Chains A and B, each alone.
Chain A
Amino acid sequence: EVQLLESGGGLLQPGGSLRLSCATSGFIFSGFAMTWVRQAPGKGLEWVSAISDLDSVTYYADSVKGRFTISRDRSTNTLHLQMNSLRAEDTAVYYCAKRSGAWNGYLDSWGQGTLVTVAS
């Protein structure tokens, strides 16, 4: 069974930094692309970032480009999202999700999410 478990969320001030992690199990981590999707309170889903499987090509939404960095650690089967220069509008539940393919595909498994709150 695929399991994704996010951690690292919290409350911080604008301009701060945070690193989210997503521990994975139940599938061959190096064989699938992974993504981060966020959901602001009471709002819809917004794609944030994605990373391919072996070559770790990365993609970012314009809203986070230059501030967020996605990475994957194959030794621990963990996905990370380094978030810098955080803004109030980054406040959201952040979900990691597994893609169905090595390069692209739909999101076939989701974690339970971790809440990031940016406020002064």
Chain B
Amino acid sequence: EIVMTQSPATLSVFPGERATLSCRASQNINSNLAWYRQYPGQTPRLLIYDASTRATGVPARFSASASGTEFTLTITSLQSEDFAVYYCHQYNNWPLTFGGGTKVEIK
């Protein structure tokens, strides 16, 4: 099983600042990585797929990159609606796996 490790678990950021979230895969997953955002009590929403492609309707302040088994999601100029939990997800191998999540909270 591919283990996805997200860091940090919690990220405190001022509105308007940049947030950088990390996700590490325990083995090669090529670029088969997605990022999702989830508000409390709500459904996850796809933000990024294939490691760096923004999903339809996702603002340009969200960007993502990959280097080997290290993946990064960057949110520039955080807006109020960006404070949520973010999950990375690998779809390269069975079983599909998710990271433990990073909670982005208001500082």
How far apart are the CA atoms of A47 and B89 in the complex, in Å? 10
Q: Which of A23-31, A75-83, A98-106 is the contact stretch?
A: A98-106
Contacts of B36 in A (CB 8 A): 45, 107
Separation of A62 and B101 alpha carbons in the complex (Å): 21
Cα–Cα, bound, A37→B95 (Å): 12
Contacts of A100 in B (CB 8 A): 49
| B43/A95 in contact, CB under 8 A | yes
Interface residues of A in 28-48 (CB under 8 A from B): 35, 37, 44-47
Summarize B's interface: helix, strand, loop or mixed: loop
B43 touches A45 (CB 8 A): no
Q: For the complex, give the distance between the alpha carbons of A59 and B93 in Å.
A: 11
**Residues in B neighbouring A37, C-beta threshold 8 A:** 98
User: Residue of A at shortest CB range from B46?
Assistant: A108
Inter-chain contact B87/A113, CB cutoff 8 Å: no
Our pick among B45, B95, B98, B99 for the contact of A110 (Cβ within 8 Å) is B45
B100 at the interface (CB under 8 A from A): yes
Size category of the B interface is 20 to 34
B98 near A106: Cβ-Cβ < 8 Å? no
Q: Is the CB of B87 within 8 A of A44?
A: yes
Q: Which residues of B contact A35 (CB under 8 A)?
A: 96
CB < 8 Å: which of A44, A47, A108, A113 contacts B100? Answer: A44
Which single member of A47, A50, A59, A106 contacts B49 (CB below 8 Å)?
A: A106
- Complex contact A47–B97 (CB within 8 A): yes
CA distance A37 to B94 in the complex (A): 14
Contact status A110-B94, CB under 8 Å: no
Q: Lowest 9 CB-CB distances: which A-B pairs, in order?
A: A106-B34, A47-B96, A106-B49, A45-B98, A110-B43, A44-B101, A44-B100, A61-B95, A106-B91
